Amino acid sequence: MSKGKVLIVGSNANKVEIQGGGWGATGQYLNETVVPAMAVIEAGYEVVLATPDGTKMTLDAASDAAAHFGGDEAAYKRARQFWDSDPVMNNVRTLQSVIDEGLDRYAGVFIPGGQAPVVDLMQNAELRTILQHFHEKAKPTAMLCHGPISVAAAMPHAREFRAALIAGDPEKAKEWARGWQYAGYKMTVFSATEEKYVEDNILKAKIYFDMPYALRTAGGEVIINPKDFAPHVVEDRELITGQNPASDHPIAEKLVAALNRTTA
């Protein structure tokens, strides 16, 4: 018997804008998606995956390695099989269809990382509706790595906020962020120094803004672990955020505990 439904919101972006013009390849991280999803299922919940256009997310090639599973080849293969073949990962809904069906039936929501959410989710109008519901109902709302940038979608003017960040205009961005439901929340996100490592070694280019800067500009109280790529999770009210790929198991534990408290 299912203890309830948990919504996973994925991105449809497979490229991200880079400074100087052009695009860099991106997607969503394997371990960041699969580890929390499998933990939630193991805890007795049903998982529903939805994306803006109802198609499956692109796997970020940088995440497709056993290194993100502590070098455990068996764990990596289980994760890859879940991503490739499990119905949860392949019966993808649109965000709008989930809203139309009714958000009351969901006990919690989770958004994984990879740079993809920086492109579409942080300015998605359907996600705004979803985040407003989970905020008003105080239901567990978990996001990992770059996933926490998705909280910007809850702004009435998320698109304008993102455009101001890209234009390098923080004062205008602050204006567009007024009325944000997460202002004053403690949260974490992929750090600027972690981002620099990805830019230098994987993307080979710079994106337009780093995640802590964006969330602080919006009014969030961003708490970063100064040790790069070490596990770090922050929980404040309904919002549970993890800093980086190494936070996959810790955020899964926090999310399951929050779900159990609210559904008991």
pLDDT digits (tens, 9 = 90+) for 56-88: 999 999 999 999 999 999 999 999 999 999 999
- Residue 209's pLDDT band, with cuts at 50, 70 and 90, is very high
Asked whether the predicted pLDDT for residue 164 surpasses 90, the reply is: yes
Quick one: average pLDDT of 161-180? 97
As a whole number of angstroms, the distance between CA 136 and CA 36 comes to 23
pLDDT at 235: 98
Burial 184-214 (b: 16+ CB within 10 A, else e): ebebbbbbeebbeebbeeebeeebebbbbbb
Give the separation between CA 71 and CA 79, rounded to whole angstroms. Answer: 13
Give the mean pLDDT of 38-46: 98
**How many residues can be counted in the chain?**
264
Domains and CATH numbers, the chain: 5-263 (3.40.50.880)
* pLDDT beyond 90 at 200: yes
This prediction has a pTM of: 0.97
Does residue 264 register a pLDDT over 90?
no
pLDDT at 46 over 90: yes
Say what the pLDDT of residue 220 is. 98
Indicate the pLDDT class of residue 31, thresholds 50, 70 and 90. very high
pLDDT of the residue at 141: 98
Average pLDDT, the chain: 97
Question: Cα dist. 114→145, 180, 198 in Å?
Answer: 7, 24, 11
